[in-house]
């Protein structure tokens, strides 16, 4: 999944839940500018930031480890 696809999923879910960027940003402990950059695929958020966003949006993050 690309940063752009991830950002779109976050934005779509936020809109489905009728949340403003300000509400989600405050919960996640980030600025509205940072959230906007995440949603547009321009930011490279930390795992901790994504975990906070996903928790609040009731989304699940799955990590798969590939064998080389």
Q: What is the mean pLDDT of the chain?
A: 95
Contact 3, 43 (CB under 8 A): yes
**What pTM did the predictor assign?**
0.88
Domain ranges of the chain: 3-56
Class of domain 3-56 as given by CATH: mainly alpha
For residue 61, the model assigns a pLDDT of: 85
Give the Cβ contact number of residue 25 at 10 Å. Answer: 19
Instruction: Return all residues near 49 (Cβ < 8 A) that are at least 6 apart.
Output: 28, 29, 30, 34, 38
pLDDT of 34 > 90? The answer is yes
Question: Per-residue confidence at 7, pLDDT binned at 50, 70, 90?
Answer: very high
């Amino acid at each position: 999944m690309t940063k752009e696809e991830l950002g779109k999923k976050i934005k779509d879910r936020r809109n489905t839940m009728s949340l403003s960027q300000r509400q989600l940003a405050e919960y996640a402990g980030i600025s509205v500018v940072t959230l906007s950059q995440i949603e547009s695929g321009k930011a490279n958020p930390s795992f901790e930031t994504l975990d906070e966003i996903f928790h609040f949006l009731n989304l699940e993050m799955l990590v798969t480890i590939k064998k080389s």
